[in-house]
Amino acid sequence: DNDEKYVFCNADEGEPGTFKDRVILTEKPEMVIEGMIIAGYAVGAKEGIIYLRHEYKYMEAYLEAILQEHRDKGYLGEEACGLKGFNYDIRIQFGAGSYVCGEESALLESAEGKRGEPRPRPPFPVEAGYRGCPTIVNNVETLCAVVNILLNGHQWYLAQGTEASRGTKVLSISGDCQYPGVYELEWGFSVNDILEITGARNTQAVQMGGPSGSLIGKDQFDHIICYADLATGGSLIIFNETRDLIRDVVLNFTDFFIDESCGSCVPCRTVPTLMRQRLVRLLEGKGTKIDIRQLEEWTKIMPMNRCGLGHTAANPIHSLLKNFRHLLEERINKELDFEPELDEAMAVKEFCDYVNREPNLKPVL
């Protein structure tokens, strides 16, 4: 309960390879706005805010015109939709280009004019969100789904998809295929189905869910896209046999996460950079099996970060280790057999003596 409540549409579409929200906002903005009006009425909000990534600034005049049409028709403003006591309007607010602001609490921090970094939780936004008031944050696709469900009925929606994953999923599909674009498909298609639909040939790998997702190989193309099997946030990037997966894909995505880290959490700030150094060493033919083992150990540290970006910042390398390990092992310099000879106890002895502590070292390898 609160006199002030807010509805946010998260249109901060910053995941590389994801462009479905841009297309929806361009082709069906009325559906997004209608979904926000329904949400506002459902929770008793007075204001809805479309948080739009700054790279979509060119949409501003177009979306403002659509919003004004809704005001002129009485769908927004005083007694919106002719409902007594429902005074509700929607405005647009732009992000400043930070990927981490796609996380809901970082989005709210940014919307309040603060540095865009995740908040500690609890409290959650539904309890204390924008300006400390109850706030719901939903993405573009979800708000559109609300409209379709109310128009067609919940049984229509439940009849689509699989037992565990009802309804449809909007996918941004790009890369080495004949027909890239935005597709709305029922949950339950296999990756092979999508490769056939999009005219992909000689596919080596598919990046599921953008850089924060997983890179899968041919042995997983028969998996079903659904929450119970192979989940995706809405992006598939297809890579054929001409691609160097380590250099063209994994190193590129790792650079992206290094650049986009807000720097708040130590593992997110430092570990991806250390992992990149090991990856480059392997690419240059200077790496050993020790480098691969260190990469494996460092991926385990990332869940200590407090937001989704930090949790998934090592995913490109983790997926490489899991699904394409042979590509790394092929690059090991067989003539090198380096084992670290650092005596960790001696290295920290002076510090431990100074603070009167016993070394508490655990072997990493």
Tens digits of residue pLDDT in 205-236: 999 988 999 999 999 999 999 888 888 878 99
Q: Which long-range contacts (CB under 8 A, 24 or more apart) does 28-32 make?
A: 28/144, 29/62, 29/63, 29/66, 30/66, 30/70, 31/143, 31/144, 31/147, 32/140, 32/143, 32/144
Q: CA geometry: angle at 325 spanning 324 and 329, to 5°?
A: 130
What average pLDDT does the segment 260-269 reach? 91
The pLDDT of residue 322 = 95
Choice between 309 and 200, residue whose per-residue pLDDT is larger: 200
pTM for this entry? 0.87
**Omega before 122 within 30 of 0, i.e. cis:** yes
Over 60: is that where the pLDDT of 363 sits?
no
- pLDDT-derived band at 337 (thresholds 50, 70, 90) equals low
* pLDDT 10s digits, 185-205: 999 999 999 999 999 999 999
Over 60: is that where the pLDDT of 365 sits?
no
What average pLDDT does the segment 25-53 reach? 97
Over 70: is that where the pLDDT of 95 sits?
yes
The pLDDT of residue 164 = 86
The pLDDT of residue 167 = 92
pLDDT above 90 covers what percent of the chain? 77
